[in-house]
Amino acid sequence: MTETTRFMDAALEEARKAAARGEVPIGAVVVLDGKIVAAAGNRTRELNDVTAHAEIEAIRQAATSVGDERLTGADLYVTLEPCTMCAAAISFARIRRLYYGAEDPKGGAVDSGVRFFASPTCHHVPDVYSGLAEREAAEILRDFFAGKR
């Protein structure tokens, strides 16, 4: 198993844990120097906080753990294409590489929608790798919403 696969697996695990809590199943991990320094899933319902997306939660945890608002050299793995808010947070946190699973044509902002990183007002652009464990990431979401109906 490659490192990348292992870290995306950890993000998928966070997505499954979010589903078990009744949250939209999206998970994220932050990796620094080959180690996971933060792992989180969506907590918008639990916290009554629309900003508590997996990526934001993981970035907050990582920043606390590192003791710096900037996560220079850190990589973020997330199961779904980040939204506009999270793409901005990823840029502000100076994330080095972004790995995401499934595309989100409805809410994504990296390769879909506003394509935040390509905008002239985005001052730090991470390297982006998409399509990791894409099927599994999409399946977790599909199963969750199918169960709701």
| Residues identified as active-site | 55
Q: Please identify which residue in the block is written with the tokens 């999270």.
A: 86
Q: Tell me how far the alpha carbon of residue 8 is from its chain's centroid.
A: 10
The residue among 3 and 101 lying less far from Zn ion, judged by its C-beta, is 101
Cβ neighbors of 119 (< 8 A, separation 6 or more) are: none
Alpha-carbon span 107 to 74, nearest angstrom: 24
What is the residue type of 19? A
Stretch 87-146 residues interacting with Zn ion (CB under 5 A): none
Positive or negative torsion for Cα 94, 81, 102, 78: positive
The residue among 6 and 45 lying less far from Zn ion, judged by its C-beta, is 45
- For the bound state, the minimum distance from the C-beta of residue 89 to Zn ion, rounded and expressed in Å, comes to 8
**Interaction mask 46-85, Zn ion, x per CB under 5 A:** -------x-----------------------------x--
- For the bound state, the minimum distance from the C-beta of residue 33 to Zn ion, rounded and expressed in Å, comes to 25
Among 86, 90, 93, 133, interactor with Zn ion by CB under 5 A: 86
Residue 92, CB-side half-sphere exposure with 13 Å CA sphere: 12
Positive or negative torsion for Cα 74, 79, 80, 83: negative
The residue among 58 and 83 lying less far from Zn ion, judged by its C-beta, is 83
- For the bound state, the minimum distance from the C-beta of residue 82 to Zn ion, rounded and expressed in Å, comes to 5
Q: Which residues of the shown chain bind Zn ion in the complex (CB under 5 A)? A: 53, 83, 86
